[in-house]
């Protein structure tokens, strides 16, 4: 039997390969790669692989469920689609495609500050449960105005990303000439010519419909066409974000507040003290600090210290349903998916993202069945003795 189209995508790695074929190299590497020497990308993989789950045998697993409570909301699986800047460049209206796939799977979609599509359009056209991810701009007034906008569009969960204190060092972006604003270059031109499907389906169609794609959440007077001058200094990301900003946000935001990118027990404790409802234990998919520990390494101690005070979510490196099971076994109550669904949406839009979610859910179901886990609550009991503390 010859598998074609989406049927040929049998796992996340297949989706990754398909995305690599479709996207210009500069964009694919922006999505796929890490920071500096990419030590922590490999570290995340090795750490997850080292978590062994031991099956409990002769358990009736005919009725398994992945039902989960994530930040007080019952959902059919413990997943959330992570915020990913410029998802709208990998597919035309890629954020809407991701949000629709999330809605179909009954899970939240987290809109990035640096989204190409506005949260208002994503809300109107997807019907998804929306979270909003915040990068604090130097201009705090504008930042707060952005929050009001996210609230008005229906977001009730605010995710403050705390692991991007400064801009990360990713040399391949410089080599590829990939940056925002996009800059024309001979190399970029050749890259586009070699990837005509993306150039026609995404770039040219966007140009015809709405001009050069832009960051949708930047105020009109600052909004920069990605092909033009750089963003105003006022709207660049602040490098002086502190716990005082958490105080400010906690006062201003009536919904759930999540700090994303916590890797230390003392910071997790502070997050609880400052009134966060949850943290995401994450190293940003190994895209920021190349000497950072992976979430697997730090999760158990963080769970021990604060799981009675706030919800603990995790991400970075999920490529199989078994990786989701591993994070849950280590004490996370929900798992964010970044690149996996981006590869899917880059390959076939909403259908591609849904395909990846279905594959991950199916793999999780098989893993649970094999482990004798009927519910997600059974997973921590499956940690192999070598992984217990
Ligand atoms: C292309 C790309 C863009 C991202 N943009 C953001 C962002 O704007 N804000 C943020 O908090 N995290 C961002 N992230 C990190 C993800 O939210 C998430 O933490 C990470 O992708 C998880 O690792 P995984 O890709 O291995 O699943 C981005 C990740 C990728 C791959």
Instruction: Name residues whose C-beta falls within 8 Å of residue 63's C-beta, 6 or more positions apart in sequence.
Output: 374
Residue 275 lies in a domain: yes
Catalytic residue (one of 170, 260, 284, 361): 284
Q: Is the pLDDT of residue 227 over 60?
A: no
User: For ligand 1, is residue 352 a contact (CB within 6 Å)?
Assistant: no
pLDDT on residue 226:
56
Residue 262 lies in a domain: yes
* Ligand 1 nearest atom to the CA of residue 280, by list position: 19
CATH number at residue 311: 3.20.20.70
Long-range contacts of 147-154 (CB under 8 A, 24+ apart): 147/249, 147/252, 147/253, 149/119, 149/120, 149/217, 150/111, 150/119, 151/253, 151/254, 151/255, 153/118, 153/119, 153/120, 153/122, 153/123, 154/123, 154/130
User: For ligand 1, is residue 206 a contact (CB within 6 Å)?
Assistant: no
pLDDT on residue 156:
98
What confidence tier does 278 reach under pLDDT thresholds 50, 70, 90? very high
Domain containing 237 equals 5-172+232-387
Distance (Å, rounded) from C-alpha 57 to C-alpha 331?
A: 22
Residue 347 lies in a domain: yes
CA-proximal residue: ligand 1, atom 8 (nearest) = 85
Q: How far is CA 376 from each of CA 76, 321, 373, rounded to the nearest angstrom? A: 11, 12, 7
Residue 353 lies in a domain: yes
By percentage, how much of the chain surpasses pLDDT 70? 96
Residue 95 lies in a domain: yes
Residue 129 lies in a domain: yes
User: For ligand 1, is residue 83 a contact (CB within 6 Å)?
Assistant: yes
> How does pLDDT run across 228-270, given as a tens digit for each residue?
545 567 778 889 999 999 999 999 999 999 999 999 999 999 9
What confidence tier does 188 reach under pLDDT thresholds 50, 70, 90? confident
Tally of domains in the chain: 1
User: For ligand 1, is residue 283 a contact (CB within 6 Å)?
Assistant: no
Residue 214 lies in a domain: no
Q: Does 284 qualify as catalytic in the annotation? A: yes
- The best mutation among 33, 46, 85 to test binding of ligand 1, ranked by most ligand atoms within 8 Å of the C-beta, falls on 85
Residue 181 lies in a domain: no
Q: Which residues, in sequence order, are bridge partners of residue 256?
A: 157
Let me know how long the chain is: 389
- The best mutation among 339, 340, 345, 346 to test binding of ligand 1, ranked by most ligand atoms within 8 Å of the C-beta, falls on 339
Q: Which of 263, 261, 259 is nearest to 310 (CA)?
A: 259
CA-proximal residue: ligand 1, atom 20 (nearest) = 285
User: For ligand 1, is residue 170 a contact (CB within 6 Å)?
Assistant: no
Q: Is the pLDDT of residue 133 over 70?
A: yes
């Amino acid at each position: 039997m010859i598998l074609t189209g989406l049927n040929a995508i049998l796992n996340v790695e297949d989706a990754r390969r398909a995305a690599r074929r479709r996207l210009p190299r500069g964009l694919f590497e922006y999505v796929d790669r890490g920071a500096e020497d990419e030590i922590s990308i490999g570290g995340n993989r090795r750490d997850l692989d080292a978590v062994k789950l031991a099956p409990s045998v002769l358990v009736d697993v005919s009725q398994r469920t992945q039902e989960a409570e994530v930040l007080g909301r019952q959902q059919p699986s413990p997943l959330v689609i992570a915020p990913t800047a410029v998802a709208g460049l990998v597919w035309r209206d890629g954020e809407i495609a991701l949000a629709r796939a999330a809605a179909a799977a009954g899970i939240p979609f987290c809109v990035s500050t640096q989204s190409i599509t506005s949260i208002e359009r994503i809300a109107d056209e997807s019907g998804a449960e929306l979270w909003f991810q915040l990068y604090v701009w130097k201009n705090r007034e504008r930042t707060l105005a952005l929050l009001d906008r996210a609230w008005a569009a229906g977001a009730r969960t605010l995710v403050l990303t705390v692991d991007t204190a400064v801009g990360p060092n990713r040399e391949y972006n410089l080599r590829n000439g990939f940056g925002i604003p996009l800059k024309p270059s001979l190399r970029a031109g050749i890259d586009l010519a070699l990837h005509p499907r993306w150039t026609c389906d995404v770039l040219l169609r966007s140009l015809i419909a709405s001009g050069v794609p832009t960051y949708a959440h930047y105020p009109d007077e600052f909004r920069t066409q990605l092909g033009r001058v750089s963003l105003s200094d006022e709207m660049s990301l602040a490098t002086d974000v502190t716990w005082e900003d958490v105080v400010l946000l906690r006062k201003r935001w009536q919904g759930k507040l999540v700090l994303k990118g916590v890797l230390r027990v003392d910071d997790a404790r502070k997050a609880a003290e400052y009134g966060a409802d949850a943290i995401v234990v994450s190293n940003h998919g190994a895209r920021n600090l190349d000497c950072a520990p992976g979430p697997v390494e730090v999760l158990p101690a963080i769970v021990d210290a604060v799981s009675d005070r706030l919800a603990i979510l995790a991400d970075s490196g999920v490529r199989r349903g078994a990786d989701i099971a591993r994070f849950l076994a280590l004490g996370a109550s929900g798992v964010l998916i970044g690149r996996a669904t981006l590869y899917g949406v880059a390959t076939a839009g909403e259908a591609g993202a849904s395909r990846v979610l279905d594959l991950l859910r199916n793999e999780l179901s098989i893993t649970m069945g094999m482990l004798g886990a009927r519910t997600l609550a059974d997973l921590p009991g499956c940690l192999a003795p070598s992984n217990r503390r």
